[in-house]
Amino acid sequence: MTSETILLVFDILGTFAFGLSGALVAIRRQLDLFGILVLAAATGVAGGITRDLLIGATPPAALRDLWPLALAAGSGLVAVFTWAQLERVSRPVMLLDALGLGTFAVAGTQTALDAGLHAPGAVLLGMISAVGGGVLRDMMSAEVPRVLREDIYALAALAGAIVYVGALSLGLPEGAAAAGAVALAVVLRIASVRYGWTLPRAPGS
């Protein structure tokens, strides 16, 4: 699997997953159809736009091509017609967030590597692009962003990005490295919520 294929597949998965999560939050907030589509689209493309702007790829792909916004808005329509079924799943927004974190962490890291960034910068950009959609979604729905109140959120994306870069440096195939990195980020995020994992806090805080 080439880096171009990885970017495309993971951009599609991440955009749809984050868009769907934004739409579910909008439905819970009782927004109308327009509000649902706006929040879905904004959540789906925010990470990719942030990534492109930081590496100087302007205009961002989400504004240059039709499919990112169309896919993100389409996920909003999917949510409108299937939200009752989706809500039967335990913590659907968290699960979609986990998938989006993993896929965008890898896609952002690979994009940074392709742009010539060294490993530390690529890892940082992967993490930033992974959390961008969730941050914008939470802010637009008047919530404190999860990245600020849930410890193993950005950390899950960071771990995935580090593992991806490390696996590539060891000579692993890009497809295997990407799959392993996404799996780690997703499992780490889900497990942290399931078992209540947190980072140490200041004594007495």
pTM beyond 0.75: the answer is: yes
Dist. CA 49–CA 58, nearest whole Å: 9
Contact 37, 59 (CB under 8 A): no
Per-residue pLDDT reduced to its tens digit, 31-88: 999 999 999 999 999 999 999 999 999 999 899 999 999 999 999 999 999 999 998 9
| Amino acid 39: pLDDT | 97
Contact 184, 152 (CB under 8 A): no
Per-residue pLDDT reduced to its tens digit, 122-133: 999 999 999 999
Per-residue pLDDT reduced to its tens digit, 5-20: 888 899 999 999 999 9
pLDDT mean over 79-100? 93
How many other C-beta atoms are found inside a 10 Å radius of the C-beta of residue 63?
A: 14
| Three-class secondary structure of residue 205 per DSSP | coil
Residue 76 burial (10 A CB sphere; 0-12, 13-18, 19+):
buried
Q: Judge whether residue 1 has pLDDT over 80.
A: no
Contact 27, 83 (CB under 8 A): yes
Radius of gyration (C-alpha) of the chain in whole angstroms: 16
